[in-house]
């Protein structure tokens, strides 16, 4: 699994502090939304050349970790 902590960052001055892919304004939510809408990894990479495959995987790992933490905090 990708270590998302090196890629996903929060900055209170960028996108209202939402988790973003390093040095971009692209949020984890953006990437997950594109995947949910049916975009494939290659399509996202073509449309957003500032992203890498590892960035997309980091978004998925971040979301999985957040879900896991929610499940175990209830």
Condensed to tens digits (0 to 9), the pLDDT of residues 13-24 reads: 999 999 999 999
Question: What pLDDT, on the 0 to 100 scale, is given for residue 74?
Answer: 61
> pLDDT class for 68, splitting at 50, 70, 90?
confident
28 pLDDT band (50/70/90 cuts)? very high
Q: What number does CATH give the domain 4-73? A: 1.10.10.10
The secondary structure element, H or E, covering residue 29 is helix 28-36
Cα(65)–Cα(39) distance, integer angstroms = 22
In 24-61, which positions are buried (b, 16+ CB within 10 angstroms) versus exposed (e)?
eebbbebbeebbeeebeeeebbeebeebeeebbbbbbb
pLDDT more than 70, % of the chain: 97
Q: Name the average pLDDT for the chain.
A: 94
* Distance in angstroms (rounded) separating the CA atoms of residues 43 and 3: 23
Which DSSP symbol is given to 8?
Answer: E
Q: Kindly list the domain boundaries of the chain, sorted by start residue.
A: 4-73
């Amino acid at each position: 699994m990708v270590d998302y902590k090196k890629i996903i960052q929060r900055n209170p001055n960028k996108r209202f502090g939402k988790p973003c892919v390093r040095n971009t304004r692209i949020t984890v939510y953006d990437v997950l939304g594109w995947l949910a809408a049916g975009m494939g990894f290659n399509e996202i990479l073509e449309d957003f050349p500032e992203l890498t495959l590892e960035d997309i995987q980091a978004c998925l790992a971040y979301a999985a970790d957040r879900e896991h933490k929610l499940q175990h905090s209830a």
